Amino acid sequence: MKKAIASVGLLALGAVGVNTARADWMAGTDKPWSLSGTLRGFYDDNYNTQPNGPNRVKSFGIEFAPGISINYSEGPTLIKASYNYSVKDYFARPGGQVDQAHDLELLLDHSFSERYKMEFTESFVDSQEPEVIAGPGTTTFPLRANSDNYRNTAGINFTAQVTPLLGLVVGYVNSIYDYTGSLPPSLVLAGVAPYKTSLNRVEQAVTLNSRWTIDPETIGIFGYTFQSVDYIGGGNLQPGLVPFETAKTRNNYTHDVYVGVEHSFRSDLSFSGRAGVQITDYYNEQNALGGGSGASDVGPYADLSLSYTYMENGSLTVGFRQAKK
């Protein structure tokens, strides 16, 4: 069952939206806070993110997205915070239902000295869209989920420049996922478990990176990350079938060991890459009779990206990622 999410996702990818009209406004640019708003028209050829069939529907629509942000610095301390709200009206959706999303972000960065600093981040979202709930760079379950679905991620990083050659980064991240949304009708009829059973979980990760200054433009990296995933939803992952399989059979520990490099070609163009091995232990895996067996996976790990900054507050990133999810 540990690969069930990936197999469903293969059927659902490929929906895109195209903007048809857009208007923006902004205020408060001369202050530590600012207000912004976006009004745009769009077209979505598969707003339920479903495979080809009767449940794949398309629609024009309109979105209004206001927001507020704070950017304040005082000496060695930097505080950034933002709140963004979005409401989307799909013209073809029965019943006049709209999608609403809330996104709250916080960054607190404090430098104790030129060599030591600490960073705290907090991110809370309430959305129906999978890429918003999962966060940047990942899509845990690429199907739209009706109703409120929450993801809260908090992290802390401590950075130390031990010597001119060697730097260390120690970090911890905690993420909580709470899905209340309902399944598409086709999946309910197929006996698929509710979102809360298959997706509600707590993820924790501890990272230790050593950073080696090769030259002013190039940093070498040797690192290790430990991640724990604990599924907390009740119910059967295979409704109507035996043996009863709880979501905790997907609990796992993952170890990433990697080397990497960060290089700045010029002020507006940079590369970041990490590659190594990933070892995952599904310690609650069941055998066919419902007893415990345990299972493990060993595979490659890679995370590559090339970033180009084409204007202030505007950048383009192209990347590749290979991991177990």
pLDDT, mean of residues 227-256: 89
Q: Hey, what are 207's tokens?
A: 């990272």
At residue 93, the pLDDT reads 82
pLDDT, mean of residues 204-232: 96
Q: Is the pLDDT confidence value at 289 over 70?
A: no
Spatial contact of 144 and 128, defined as CB atoms under 8 Å apart: yes
Residue type, 83: Y
pLDDT bracket for residue 312 (50, 70, 90): confident
Cα separation of the two ends of the chain: 14
Q: Are strands 252-266 and 116-126 parallel, antiparallel or unpaired?
A: unpaired
Q: Hey, what are 230's tokens?
A: 């604990």
pLDDT bracket for residue 282 (50, 70, 90): very high
At residue 56, the pLDDT reads 84
Sequence-ordered list of residues with C-beta below 8 angstroms from that of 274, at least 6 positions apart, any chain = 221, 223, 258, 259, 260, 301, 302, 303, 304
Spatial contact of 245 and 285, defined as CB atoms under 8 Å apart: no
pLDDT bracket for residue 274 (50, 70, 90): very high
Q: Is the pLDDT confidence value at 260 over 50?
A: yes
Q: Is the pLDDT confidence value at 38 over 50?
A: yes
Q: Is the pLDDT confidence value at 8 over 50?
A: no
At residue 131, the pLDDT reads 67
At residue 294, the pLDDT reads 62
Domain 4-322 has CATH 2.40.160: yes
Q: Hey, what are 104's tokens?
A: 């709250």
pLDDT bracket for residue 1 (50, 70, 90): very low
- For residues 1 and 314, what is the distance between their CA atoms, to the nearest angstrom? 41
- For residues 27 and 10, what is the distance between their CA atoms, to the nearest angstrom? 43
Residue boundaries of the structural domains of the chain: 4-322
pLDDT, mean of residues 111-136: 87
Q: Is the pLDDT confidence value at 9 over 70?
A: no
Q: Is the pLDDT confidence value at 128 over 60?
A: yes
At residue 142, the pLDDT reads 64
- pTM for this predicted structure: 0.81
At residue 134, the pLDDT reads 74
Find where tokens 């709470």 sit. 178
Residue type, 90: Y
Out of 23-37, 167-181, 275-289, least confident range:
23-37
Q: Hey, what are 73's tokens?
A: 């610095």
| Alpha-carbon torsion (109, 111, 114, 116), positive or negative | negative
Q: Which is more confident, 52 or 7?
A: 52
Shortest CA distance to 101 belongs to which of 44, 145, 41, 40?
A: 145
